[in-house]
Amino acid sequence: MNFATNALEVLALGFVLVIGMVSAAVLVFFFIDRAQTEDAIRRNYPVIGRFRGMFTKLGEFFRQYFFAMDREEMPFNRAQRDWVYHSTHGKDNTIAFGSTRNLSVPGTAIFVNATFPPIDDQFALTQPLRIGPHCRTPYDAPSFFNISGMSYGAISRPAVLALSKGAKKAGIWLNTGEGGLSPYHLEGGCDVVFQIGTAKYGVRNLEGGIDDEKLRAVAAHETVRMFELKLAQGAKPGKGGILPGAKVNAEIAAIRHIPEGRDSISPNRHVEIPDFAALLDVIGHIREVTGKPTGFKTVIGSSDDYEALFQLIKERGPESAPDFITIDGGEGGTGAAPMPLMDLVGMPIREALLRIVDMRDRYGLKERIRIIASGKLVNPSDVAWAICAGADFVTSARGFMFSLGCIQALKCNKNTCPTGVTTHDPHLQRGLVVEQKYVSVANYAKAIVKEVETIAHSVGVAEPRLMRRRHVRVVQANGESVVLRKIRPSWDPTMGEENRPAE
């Protein structure tokens, strides 16, 4: 009895202490909130006002798991992410009881199935496509779907390793992003596209220009297949950046060829490229030094500006042309950027792609310049639409981040990524197991290719790149769908200048 009484007294005392501590904490927060001058809610409603900030921060997570419907979230909804997650595990992506997609939303792509499609043994299989026919070492790219640029530094070491090994297993290329060529890009043995940003990381001289010897050293790697000069990216067109000195450790400094521990500036454009003539000169120089296909990546603000580029190519001859042009959508990407640039600057991929493809074809350069589409194209319907629109290749960054386990926590720029994809915290990186995730990367790429081939087979063509604008319909504001060919006719040299697609 005494023992029980003592126990109750201890519990009661503990309860009183807890209540006392909580009361003291509330009292302290009360006076802190009353005294501070930055937050009006906390000043007028001490302690209670703190819950508003907490709920605001937690709201995005609650919406994702409890409140948002499968197709409501931005930038990628649950249905899109679930398709990727199922694919990464090699799971069946078939569904039952009808589509959950609202097919009356303007812009929705609906593919035109053939009345008499090919029989099953005539399946639409992807064929390699040559890039850079005038180069000493052209590239016969095996896949139409590849990994877009993500720098080592922006994403973690295990993420780069998993992408490299997964790309090798799937037979696709991996773009380095502008952060230079790390050992982790090469370790997996995949085909690599080396991106040259405005800071020239990995190939820069002391003045920040291109060092030809370093360029040759990169090109000497057999698996480095192409070079991409980045003019702009979807996240921040027209905006440079700064890599804080605190992040420039010995490894990053060695990879990027910059001083350790010092801030590194990426200009908002290549200072030696003020116009299209200089752009073609630099592309030609890189191609001559490396012997490998060279093109550029950009975001389209106005397609009218690019008339001057194609006119200049016409004057100089087709050999002067870039071997490829990567069109990034202005919808934003993996890079951190100011909201106005992310939201409001640059043409969306679904408009920009059509305009540049038509311009290329009108100048008779369809077989000379390959078009690569990039920007929120993560599911088979997105990729198939881009090919119908005229893209030769499609690249994705965020799709492959999902394949690595990304849960769209929106913490990419804070070094707190809970899945280890974009953090350099060793504890958080432990969650990304390379030997498991590289298989997921390969599975995702293979699933995209297989399902786009399925769409191509359904519309009645023998290879995905034979899909045309007549093979896809686009839902209009009135709920009816119209064949893309009628909205934006493909360029046909026989139809006359007066009937060309409007720019």
Q: What confidence tens digit (pLDDT) does each residue in 407-434 have? A: 776 666 667 777 788 777 788 888 788 9
Q: Measured between alpha carbons, how far is 106 from 476 in angstroms, rounded to an integer?
A: 5
Q: Calculate the alpha carbon distances from 431 to 159, 361, 389, 418, 426 in Å.
A: 11, 47, 39, 8, 9
Contact 76, 68 (CB under 8 A): no
What's the pLDDT at 353? 95
CA distance between the termini of the chain: 91
Q: What is the pLDDT of residue 496?
A: 45
Q: What's the pLDDT score for residue 500?
A: 47
C-alpha span between 195 and 303 (Å, rounded): 23
Q: Which stretches in the chain have pLDDT values below 70? A: 1-5, 7, 40, 52-86, 89-102, 104, 122, 234-240, 246, 330-344, 409-414, 492-503
Q: Say which DSSP state 171 is in.
A: T
Residue 347 makes CB contacts below 8 A (sequence gap 6+) with: 299, 300, 301, 302, 303, 329, 330, 355
Could you tell me the pTM of the whole model? 0.81
Angle between helices 380-389 and 434-459 (to 10 degrees): 50
For residue 306, report the phi and psi dihedrals to the nearest 5 degrees: -85, -5
- pLDDT of the residue at 73: 53
Q: Are the C-beta atoms of 135 and 292 separated by less than 8 Å?
A: yes
pLDDT value at residue 217? 97
Give the per-residue pLDDT at 164.
97
User: In terms of Cα–Cα distance, which of 201, 193, 424 is closest to 323?
Assistant: 193
Name the nearest CA neighbour of 442 among 164, 175, 184, 185.
Answer: 164
Characterize the bridge pairing of strands 109-111 and 472-475.
antiparallel
Q: What is the CA radius of gyration of the chain?
A: 26
CA distance 331 to 268: 18
**Measured at the alpha carbon of residue 202, what is the angle toward residues 136 and 262, in degrees to the nearest 5?**
165
- The CA distance from 61 to 470, in Å, is 41
The per-residue pLDDT for 503 is 41
